């Protein structure tokens, strides 16, 4: 579930914390890394629960209107399509989701005003109005509605961003990624999915979990060597003026070049250039791109890049001759 890109982001964050903190403990910071990754997985379940709470709020509104002193015909015979949404009801009964929410003590019980506000935002959208008034009902229509709810309401909510920032510093950069994982999960649900429909695991496999640990440890343990490599290819730059976050990005990338034989260098290069788009200035991005390109070519020339298995993918690609 947690992609290697998110792992790289989390490692970058804990490395920054490690080097800027007066107390430097590799073991404690490693625990912080995995706690941070666990919090991302928490958010995955927490946002699923938000959809359930929106549905429950809609049901409460229906019941409240029925109890009015002078209920209208619409109050007495409400449109219950939202509360009968088949996918949302599958989530309500999902054993894995309910178990995780209970064990993690994740709940929206302290955010009733937010649930109410996001429900109000939802019912004013065009896709909600269309969903509620379309005569035909189907599981696919219910699924599409939930996907739109996540993509067009939840993901776009500034109030949600504020709430998540208040609740956990670990959720500051996770919302986009987690919603993308939720949408991927929803695609796996079928109309016959029962209470035991599996959600995504925290890691795709044990190899990804080990990658998180190794990337952090190898970058820290080999810090001096990695810094020397960075310095060697920034000879025309004032190293002291290079932003520290940029230096860490460079060290992580070079660490992957040198110590991760199963990861193709092209993958590493692309991933850290992409990472720099979020954590560096435009000027820094160009700098990182240029330095990594120079360092990679030099390290290959020195036969320091030793790839094997999947890591060999793309290593022997030769540029095609252009027609004159």
Tens of pLDDT, residue by residue over 252-283, are 999 999 999 999 999 999 999 999 988 888 77
Where does the pLDDT of residue 319 fall: very low under 50, low under 70, confident under 90, or very high at 90 and above? very low
Can you read off the two tokens belonging to residue 240? 């002291």
> How far is Cα 25 from Cα 199, in angstroms, rounded to an integer?
34
pLDDT of 321 over the 90 cut:
no
Which pLDDT score is estimated for 323? 36
Mean pLDDT, residues 113-129 taken together: 98
Higher pLDDT, 313 or 162: 162
Q: What whole-number distance in Å separates Cα of residue 110 and Cα of residue 153?
A: 20
Dump pLDDT digits (tens) for 153-176.
999 999 999 999 999 999 988 999
pLDDT digit string, tens, across residues 8-67: 999 999 999 999 988 889 999 999 999 999 999 999 999 999 999 999 999 999 999 999
Q: Which residue, among 126, 128, 176, has the nearest Cα to 155 in the 3D structure?
A: 176
* pLDDT value for 318: 41
Q: Map out the domains of the chain with their CATH numbers.
A: 4-188 (no CATH), 222-312 (1.10.940.10)
Token pair in block for residue 52: 């359930």
The pLDDT assigned to 315 comes to 76
Ranking 37-41, 241-245, 288-292 by mean pLDDT, the lowest is 241-245
Q: How confident is the model at residue 320 (pLDDT cuts 50, 70, 90)?
A: very low
Residue 243 has pLDDT above 50, yes or no: yes
Tokens of 30: 């490693």
Assess whether pLDDT exceeds 80 at residue 251: yes
CA distance 190 to 186: 9
Mean pLDDT of the chain: 93
**Is the pLDDT higher at 1 or at 57?**
57
In the predicted structure, residue 139 carries a pLDDT above the cut 50: yes
Residue 308 clears pLDDT 50, i.e. is over it? yes
Per-residue pLDDT tens over the stretch 192-234:
999 999 999 999 999 999 999 999 999 999 999 999 999 888 8
Share of the chain above pLDDT 70, in %: 95
Q: Give Cβ neighbours of residue 146 (< 8 Å, ≥ 6 apart).
A: 51, 85, 87, 88, 186
pTM of the model: 0.91
Cα–Cα distance between 186 and 86 in angstroms, integer?
A: 12
Identify the DSSP state of 236.
T
Res. 107: pLDDT tops 90: yes
């Amino acid at each position: 579930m947690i992609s290697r890109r998110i792992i790289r982001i989390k490692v970058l964050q804990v490395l920054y914390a490690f080097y800027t903190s007066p107390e430097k403990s590799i073991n404690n910071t490693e625990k912080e890394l995995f706690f941070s990754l666990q919090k991302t997985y928490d958010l995955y379940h927490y946002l699923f629960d938000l959809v359930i709470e929106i549905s429950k709020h809609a049901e409460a509104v229906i019941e409240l209107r029925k109890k009015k002193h002078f209920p209208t015909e619409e109050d007495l015979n409400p449109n219950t399509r939202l509360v009968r949404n088949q996918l949302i009801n599958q989530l309500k009964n999902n054993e894995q989701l309910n178990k995780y929410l209970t064990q993690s003590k994740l709940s929206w019980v302290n955010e009733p005003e937010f649930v109410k506000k996001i429900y109000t935002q939802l019912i004013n959208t065009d896709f909600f109005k269309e969903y509620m008034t379309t005569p035909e009902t189907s599981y696919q229509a219910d699924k599409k509605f939930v996907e739109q709810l996540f993509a067009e309401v939840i993901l776009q909510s500034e109030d949600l961003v504020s709430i998540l920032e208040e609740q956990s510093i670990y959720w500051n950069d996770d919302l986009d990624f987690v919603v993308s994982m939720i949408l991927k999960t929803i695609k796996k649900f079928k109309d016959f999915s029962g209470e035991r429909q599996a959600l995504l695991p925290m890691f795709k496999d044990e190899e990804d979990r080990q990658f998180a640990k190794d990337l952090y440890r190898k970058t820290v343990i080999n810090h001096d060597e990695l810094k020397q490599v960075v310095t060697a290819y920034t000879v025309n730059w004032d190293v002291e003026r290079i932003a520290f976050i940029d230096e860490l990005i460079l060290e992580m990338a070079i660490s992957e070049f040198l110590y991760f034989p199963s990861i193709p260098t092209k993958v590493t290069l692309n991933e850290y250039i992409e990472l720099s788009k979020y954590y560096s200035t435009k000027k820094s991005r160009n700098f990182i791109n240029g330095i990594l390109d120079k360092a990679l070519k030099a390290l290959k020339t020195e036969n320091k890049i030793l790839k094997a298995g999947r890591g060999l993918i793309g290593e022997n690609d030769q540029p095609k001759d252009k027609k004159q």
